[in-house]
Amino acid sequence: MSDHEPTGTGRLAKVRRYRRLMYACIGVGVGGFLVATEFDYPLVGLVVYWAGILAFLGVWKGTSVTLYDERDLDLERRASLLTLQIAGAVGLLAMTTLVVTDQLPSVDVPERVVGGFLAISGLFVLYGIVYTVVRYRR
Amino acid sequence: MRNHVRERRDEAELSQADLAAAVGVTRQTINAIERDRYDPSIELAFKLADFFDCRIEDIFDPELDG
């Protein structure tokens, strides 16, 4: 390690600072969007939102400090898989329930609920497409 | 997978943050490895072995059966 590089503790403080800055960018972006939309300035809200997102990406990609590493990616993979499994279980239960309730004239399933189930199905279709692409690219 | 990262780091009198900075990961990752809660990639295992100037097998024990 060269002399001008920060020590482990200094680097750690830098990581914390950058991470806080990134979350602040997202917070300002989302908060600004909500406030501006509330006060009938949707275009301003959109600009603030995207400024926040771009600032987040700028901090993330612009620093040489390791903010996220292989363990973060591993955690993301595990969380994504778990999310998909939960969505799968809910989707399977929902689909069978929908088929049964569709046969019962006395039960009327709200369109929002049907839409939610269709969204879960769409998620699986998207997963299948992405999986296929990733598989053939590796 | 069991490992001796903690022992090696203590011998070198380094903090987790120092070691993390040396091998290019976060302190949390070093902490997770030392607590056997995360198995590093081959690349990171090589970096750690290189940093401690030893072989990967000297740090990581796969606990193979038989």
pLDDT bin (cut points 50, 70, 90) of residue A22 is very high
Chain A contact set for B51 (CB, 8 A): none
CB atoms within 10 A of CB B17: 21
- Is B44's CB within 8 Å of A70's CB? yes
| B27 closest CA partner among B11, B41, B42, B9 | B9
Model confidence, pTM? 0.70
* DSSP line for B4-22: -HHHHHHHTT--HHHHHHH
- Residue in B with minimal Cα distance to A2: B22
> Does residue A16 surpass a pLDDT of 70?
yes
Q: Which of A1-5, A22-26, A110-114, B33-37 has the lowest mean pLDDT?
A: A1-5
Q: Provide the strand spans (E) within chain A.
A: none
Contact A70, B45 (CB under 8 A): no
The mean predicted confidence, pLDDT, of chain A is 86
Name the residue among A1, A5, A66 with its Cβ closest to that of B25: A66
Residue indicated by tokens 């022992």: B7
